[in-house]
Amino acid sequence: MSELRTLEDSAPVGSLRTDRAKTLILVKANGQASFAKSAGEKDLLVQGYESATDLLMLAWTGNFSTDIFLLTQQDLDRHYRPAGSP
């Protein structure tokens, strides 16, 4: 099994929150999985993310493929701006 790629492996990310081609996937420690495409859904998903126990992934859909990246809290701090933040 290969490891998940990280954002450090990729080209510039742009907006994780508003780009609908970038789906966020949250897998909770209890095995429950959720995904979000819209900005509001992503805000709710990110609020429920516990970095110590959960997996948060980004599915980045291109023309012919979808790449999956493992997100960290540092990635969110750098690339995710919730509604109302500067």
- What is the per-residue pLDDT for 1? 44
- Measured between alpha carbons, how far is 46 from 50 in angstroms, rounded to an integer? 9
- Measured between alpha carbons, how far is 23 from 68 in angstroms, rounded to an integer? 9
| Cβ 16 vs Cβ 42: under 8 Å | yes
| Cβ 74 vs Cβ 81: under 8 Å | no
pLDDT tens for each residue of 29-57 = 999 999 999 999 999 999 999 999 999 99
pLDDT tens for each residue of 69-84 = 899 998 888 888 877 7
Average pLDDT score over residue span 13-29: 89
CA angle 57, 71, 62 (to 5 degrees): 55
- Measured between alpha carbons, how far is 54 from 28 in angstroms, rounded to an integer? 5
